[in-house]
Amino acid sequence: MNPNPAPTLLSANGEWADPLPGVQVSASPWERDVCYIAVGSPDALVACGSIEPAMAKAGKHGQRRVDSAGDHFIRILRRNGPHGPQLKVTRYVTSLARARALPGVSPALTVEVIERLLASPALVLPFDPQAESANWAGMPEAMLARGLVTRGELAALAAKPERTMDLGGGRRLYRLLDGVVGLADWSGGARPAGRPSLRLVVDNTRGQ
């Protein structure tokens, strides 16, 4: 919960916000998704739109839960809270527009590399989270045009519930926000020439 009693109306970079009494949320943007956390009573979270009605209900043990858009979420219910049952739902939202539409999220929430690629779909941007690997991000057709991925690899990634896929030979694919694809290549492949460099850090610490 929010350690600061002073309410904040909007969250853009992990701050806790209080969009309504008894509801607290935070939004943390990453290249793979926007991590949106909502805490409050189940009824209050549904009423304000932080969660969908089905999210307030328990699912089958061990079953991967997704919302109506297919985005993964995790639900934790604390039955004996000081003000009755308290529900914490962590949503991994895969669209910047959908994330900005959620209660308590600032319209200024953004991920620069995703915005640039959405504005210029033919662009492929190199990024370098680790010095020993060569890495790129772009829309699927742009990645295909540059010979960085194959249609079969993209189809296999799209069919997986996880957002990462090892290709073997030191290569790994990522599904990023809004349909952007990321590729990490430790195989020693050449870096495309004539492209501006941009550092993009992909967070692999959060399982989905």
- CB-based contacts of 25: which residues, under 8 Å, 6+ apart? 11, 16, 17, 19, 36, 37, 38, 39, 50, 102, 103, 104, 105
Q: Domain boundary residue among 55, 84, 107? A: 107
CA distances for 197 relative to 129, 158, 180, angstroms: 12, 27, 17
Residue at 135 is within a domain? yes
Low-confidence spans in the chain with pLDDT less than 70: 1-8, 81-83, 127-133, 188-208
Residue at 67 is within a domain? yes
118 and 56, same domain (yes or no):
no
Q: How many CB atoms lie within 10 A of CB 136?
A: 24
125 and 86, same domain (yes or no):
no
Beta strand 86-93 with 34-40 is: antiparallel
The owner of tokens 């790129």 is: 136
The tokens for 105 are 């999220």
In angstroms, the CA 36 to CA 98 distance is 11
Contact between 124 and 143 (Cβ < 8 Å): yes
Q: What is the pTM of this model?
A: 0.81
What digits encode the pLDDT tens for the residues 106-137? 999 999 999 999 999 999 987 655 445 578 99
Residue at 90 is within a domain? yes
Domain that holds residue 42: 16-107
